[in-house]
Structure 1
């Protein structure tokens, strides 16, 4: 019987590893195709429908994108919005989640009801635009942060995590004379780093991918985040006239420029993820069964 179980376990492990490998390849091959196409020549892109590793590398697409300092400034804008927005959103979400996780909070159920209500119903684009306009946030980077300060779903995840922490930690801190802010910042947050890291990554990705709000609220091109600027680059690259005499060199193919744009917009987030991987793996198990 023991031998049969071992054989069954090995067969399961082989099948499981095979399926996971296939799924991993399905997910990673499109990204390799994007990166490879961004370094490929126009002739090779036209010849091969699915390109992974170009035979001749060229940086023409990236030179076209970074031909001016506009992209660099736009990337800096996105970095500022991402960092400032994530810190601001995490501060508000953490304070709100901690307050709502306390069972002795007066009116806790009613407050929670009105917060969840915003997940189901909202004013829409036009009323939100009017609010942003009337508060003087138009054409400012704050318009990309303040209107989306708190994501209700993320806040509820933090609230649930805080509720699952042992209440004895708070009681011990109160006996030692700690107030609510001391308990939150010295005990609750250090014990909740997996949840904090996970929600922070969610917020950071959302702010980095800001597009629609920038289109609606920003008229100054110098304040555009990278997503908006790169969209403009893709449009210009698609409409490039290859027969025009204004080009001294052969311009990069539009498909190569599009792929390079995707790489530029994706790589910064990929560089941040390894630093949060340890906490993110734990945070992904929020709500799972604990021993």
Structure 2
């Protein structure tokens, strides 16, 4: 028997689809404009004729960006921060969440209270700067990694996931003579693959998009990460010598086109990672947020 949907159900679905399409358009339209501007000739860009399709298609902007040594130096610093920072984040998150997920740990409620306190009352900018300065981390890449080594929210998600694992597995492992480090490495972490990949994505994207820490702690031109490079290039219209010379020597280049091409090149790497861990990301985000 075919179920006949009521007018209210059809209207509700139509409204949902309309809202979702508008949301997708709000996200996609700026991105399409950036792509079309990066592939367009400078004259249409100056006249404001470019919308969602490139005019005067060319790849000159991307060619200049690929040859820009300053860009690739900032890119390399960002890759280092993402890889090392994410590894440190996961280490701190796991070794903090696993003990706190156990019921027999004395004082765990007090520790959890302190962690939650940092989520509600965050340290002001000036005390954080003083601490980083006192540790002699200014103008080093470690200033972009160590101050944010542990995210309280991500740790709580990991803790919730660890609590959902069957305690019988851990008890059986202890009976077999395994210590807690072996249990964590051989049982807890392999069973927590979805939440681990989710947290890795959270931390990696956070490091990739972080520019405020570099703006606050890094003054050395050679240590600028990619996002601070983009900030100086776009928000402050600060072209480095290589880009300025390329624009002056070519009539087929424009500052706006180079800015758009730089944004695309800086965004593509993180976009390429997501499809490979999408199913784990969704599963981990759902399971890690629900407590049994």
Assess same fold via TM > 0.5: yes
What is residue 109 of structure 1 aligned with on the other side? 109
Q: How does 1:1-291 map to 2 (within 5 A)?
A: 2-5=1-4, 15=14, 20-48=20-48, 51-234=51-234, 235-236=236-237, 247-250=248-251, 252-286=253-287
User: Root-mean-square deviation (CA), in Å?
Assistant: 2.9
The alpha-carbon deviation at position 21 of structure 1 amounts to 4.7
* Aligned-partner SS, 2:287: coil
Structure 2 CA distance for aligned equivalents of residues 215 and 106 of structure 1? 41
Q: 1:155 to 1:39 in 2, by over 3 A?
A: same
The SS at the match of 2:142 is: helix
| Post-superposition offset of 1:79 | 0.4
Deviation at 1:46, TM superposition (A): 4.1
* Residues 116 and 152 in structure 1, CA contact (< 8 A), matched pair in contact too: yes
When residues 288 and 271 of structure 1 are mapped into structure 2, their CA distance, relative to the original with a 3 A threshold, is same
Q: Give the unaligned 5+ runs of structure 2.
A: none
Tell me, yes or no, if the aligned pair for 1:78 and 1:208 is still in contact at 8 Å: yes
Equivalent residues, number: 286
TM-score, length basis structure 1: 0.87
| Separation in structure 1 between the aligned mates of residue 260 and residue 68 of structure 2, nearest angstrom | 19
How far residue 125 of structure 1 moved from its aligned partner, in angstroms, is 1.6
Whether the 8 Å CA contact 1:194–1:280 is kept in 2: the answer is: yes
Q: 1:171 to 1:157 in 2, by over 3 A?
A: same
Does the C-alpha gap of structure 1 residues 288 and 227 become closer, same or farther in structure 2, counting only changes over 3 Å? closer
Question: Partners of 1:63 and 1:21 in 2: how far apart?
Answer: 35
Are the counterparts in 1 of residues 160 and 290 from structure 2 also a CA contact under 8 Å?
no
1:121 CA displacement: 2.0
> Alpha-carbon deviation of 1:258?
2.7
Shift, 1:66, TM fit:
3.9
Q: Deviations over 1:143-163 (max 9, x none)?
A: 110011011011111111111
| Range with bigger deviation, 89-98 or 42-51 | 42-51
Given that 1:60 and 1:252 are in contact with CA atoms closer than 8 Å, whether structure 2 keeps it comes out as: yes
Gaps of 5+ in 1: none
Q: Deviations over 1:244-263 (max 9, x none)?
A: 9x923226333323322321
Normalising by structure 2, we get a TM-score of 0.86
Pair 167,131 (structure 1): closer, same or farther in 2 beyond 3 Å: same
